[in-house]
């Protein structure tokens, strides 16, 4: 009996090790293996992800000769955030707005109270759950090319949704704390459907914090070793490292694309029943294989 148990535990350990190695080369933020969760290996993983994505970008950029796309790509790569005003044409915006302002909209919203603490939103694939005409977003030149160029070809499969952030006073929304989403380059895209004041819940983004930085990199790797994949960092730390904060009023129909491996947060606006409607997608792909 003892030998059977011994064999079983040996098998479990082996299985767990193989599983952890598999997770090591994934986009997962946290590794559960203590052996793999050490400074040397996390540092290797962190830097390898950065190298892989950079090499992939260099390879993909060779096939692009559209100046507008190249300019946007360079801006995104440089600061980690790209802002384009008047993004959608009038006709497309009208279509979205007629849906967004329709009186029965609330009936179509299935609020997900658990996905983000303190934030509720409608989650649905635009092409299925929302008007078919919204598919023009996928046909947009910038949406079509930029994520692929920045992250890799599979970044094409985007899951768009209409997202509302709703005030739930008794809850603390963790997105209001300054943080990085993950240890490798990743993208989030918002098309704002309302004007949002600077001190309300617009995205605040520490420009260039997605780039190599000795102090910040050490901090991130230390957190990865501790099993924290989305590290928090005090604003004072960001200021002491001389990062500049993007913090501006955002007008309706503005596209904001951000590499959320850089540090960011948003304010907690209060007082409205439903506030900040955005068309939103989050694109996270494997940094090692793509
Ligand atoms: Fe985030």
CATH code for the domain of 152: 2.60.120.620
Ion ligand 1 residue ranges (Cβ < 5 Å): 181, 260
Q: Looking at the domain assignment, is residue 234 inside a domain?
A: yes
Report CA(283)–ligand 1 centroid distance (Å). Answer: 12
DSSP 173: -
223-245 mean pLDDT:
93
Nearest by Cα to 221 from 11, 26, 50: 50
Residues ≥6 apart with Cβ < 8 Å to 157: none
Considering the domain architecture, whether residues 134 and 274 belong to the same structural domain is answered as yes
CA of 33 to the centre of ligand 1 (A): 25
Cα-based torsion angle of the residue sequence 78, 268, 255, 105 in order, rounded to the nearest 10 degrees: 160
In this structure, the answer to whether residues 80 and 150 fall within a common structural domain is yes
Q: Which of 80-89, 166-175, 257-266 has the lowest mean pLDDT?
A: 166-175
Contact 184, 261 (CB under 8 A): yes
For residue 123, is pLDDT > 60? no
Convert the pLDDT of each residue in 124-155 to its tens digit.
Answer: 445 445 555 567 788 889 999 999 999 998 88
Indicate whether 135 and 243 sit together in one domain.
yes
Selected residue with higher pLDDT from 66 and 133: 66
Q: Is the pLDDT confidence value at 69 over 70?
A: yes
Centre of ligand 1 to C-alpha 46, Å, is 18
What does the pLDDT read at residue 5? 80
One domain, residues 3 and 127? no
Say yes or no: 104 and 148 in one domain. yes
Residue ranges making up the domain that contains 70: 49-283
pLDDT band at 286 (very low <50, low <70, confident <90, very high): very high
Give yes or no for residue 114 having a pLDDT over 50. no
Distance (Å) from CA 65 to ligand 1 centroid: 32
Asked if residue 43 belongs to a domain, the reply is no
* pLDDT per residue as tens digits for the range 181-190: 999 999 999 9
Quick check: 171 pLDDT over 80? no
Distance 221 CA to ligand 1 centre (A): 18
* Cα(167)–Cα(175) distance, integer angstroms: 13
In which band, very low, low, confident or very high, does the pLDDT at 248 lie, cut at 50, 70 and 90? very high
Domains held by the chain: number: 2
Q: How far is the CA of 259 from the centre of ligand 1 (A)?
A: 10
Q: To the nearest whole number, what is the mean pLDDT of the chain?
A: 84
């Amino acid at each position: 009996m003892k030998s059977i148990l011994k064999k079983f535990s040996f098998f479990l350990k082996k299985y767990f090790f193989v599983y952890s190695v598999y997770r090591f080369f994934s986009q997962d933020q946290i590794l559960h293996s203590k052996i793999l969760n050490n400074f040397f290996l996390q540092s290797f993983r962190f830097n390898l992800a950065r190298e892989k994505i950079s090499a992939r970008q260099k390879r993909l950029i060779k096939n692009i000769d559209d100046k507008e796309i190249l300019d946007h790509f360079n801006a995104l790569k440089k600061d980690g955030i790209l802002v384009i005003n008047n993004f959608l044409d009038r006709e497309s915006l009208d279509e979205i707005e007629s849906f967004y302002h329709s009186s029965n909209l609330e009936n179509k919203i299935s609020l997900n109270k658990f996905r983000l603490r303190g934030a509720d939103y409608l989650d649905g694939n635009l092409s299925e759950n929302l008007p078919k005409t919204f598919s023009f977003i996928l046909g947009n030149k910038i949406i079509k090319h930029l994520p692929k160029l920045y992250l890799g070809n599979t970044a094409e499969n985007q899951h768009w949704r209409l997202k509302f952030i709703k005030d739930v006073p008794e809850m603390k929304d963790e997105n209001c704390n300054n943080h990085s989403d993950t240890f490798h380059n990743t993208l989030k895209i918002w098309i704002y459907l309302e004007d949002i004041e600077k001190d309300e819940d617009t995205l605040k983004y520490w420009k260039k914090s997605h780039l190599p930085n000795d102090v910040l990199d050490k901090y991130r790797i230390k957190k990865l070793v501790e099993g924290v994949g989305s590290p928090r960092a005090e604003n004072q730390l960001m200021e002491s490292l001389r990062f500049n904060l993007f913090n501006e009023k955002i007008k309706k129909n503005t596209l904001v694309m951000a590499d959320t491996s850089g540090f960011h947060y948003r304010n907690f606006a209060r007082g409205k029943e439903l506030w900040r409607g955005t068309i939103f997608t989050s694109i996270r792909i494997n940094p090692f294989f793509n």
